[in-house]
Amino acid sequence: MEVKDFFPSWDELTPGQRERLASGARKQIVQRNAVIHSGSLDCAGLLLIEHGQLRAYILSEEGREITLYRLLDRDICLLSASCMMRSIQFEVMIKAERETTLWVIPPEIYRSVMEQSAPLANFTNEVMADRFSEVMWLLEQILWKRFDQRLAGFLLEERALEGSNKLKMTHEAIGSHLGNPREVVTRMLRYFQSEGLVRLSRGTVELLDVAALEEAANG
């Protein structure tokens, strides 16, 4: 996979603009649990995910986490290059959930091409709008959905990502994704277990009744 494969508007760039993006990009392999971006003071660059899984999340002053969204194969991460958007600062952390192969385009290179290319600027705005929509969706979930609905939805999302009904996740890790204390997660998982929806063991949540979890997620 090459840098050009990430940009639908690649053919609308000039040869010089293509060369700047392609030659400026560097390929990296990031190990699981590595923090790639750590808030507005960091500026790792534009990330193009070839293969793997990243997690974008925010961290409260008390150390509580909540996942904003995941980045998967062929996704683009703009917030890791937030310094190129001068008027906007993002206190977002980005961490690898799996070993991830990605391309990194330095922010100064991407910004210089974007300022010259309307198609690339439009594409960048579309990517940012998509991410904003994901964050707004998350906000709606937190404001309007009960925790049992959110937890059921999260378990189903993890099932889809892992391709398995057996999820190797601690209650604390689930709480970090959902922005809730471990105790709250444990209480609800035990309720799910009493209803026959899941089976709990150390570091593992096994989904037993997917249909019932889907019903719970939909309220």
pLDDT in tens, 60-106: 878 788 999 999 999 999 877 766 665 556 678 899 999 999 999 99
State whether 125 and 33 are in the same domain: yes
Q: Which pTM value belongs to this model? A: 0.80
**pLDDT, averaged across the chain:** 91
pLDDT in tens, 189-205: 999 999 999 999 999 99
State whether 13 and 94 are in the same domain: yes
State whether 81 and 103 are in the same domain: yes
State whether 111 and 154 are in the same domain: no
Residue positions counted in the chain: 219
State whether 43 and 94 are in the same domain: yes
> How many degrees, rounded to 5, is the angle at CA 63 between CA 142 and CA 83?
85
In the chain, the number of structural domains is: 2
State whether 71 and 161 are in the same domain: no
Tell me, what's the pLDDT at 88?
A: 57
CATH classification at residue 186: 1.10.10.10
State whether 183 and 198 are in the same domain: yes
State whether 103 and 202 are in the same domain: no
State whether 112 and 13 are in the same domain: yes
Tell me, what's the pLDDT at 104?
A: 94
State whether 107 and 177 are in the same domain: no
What is the residue range of 107's domain? 3-142
Nearest CA to 93 out of 41, 19, 144, 136 is that of: 41
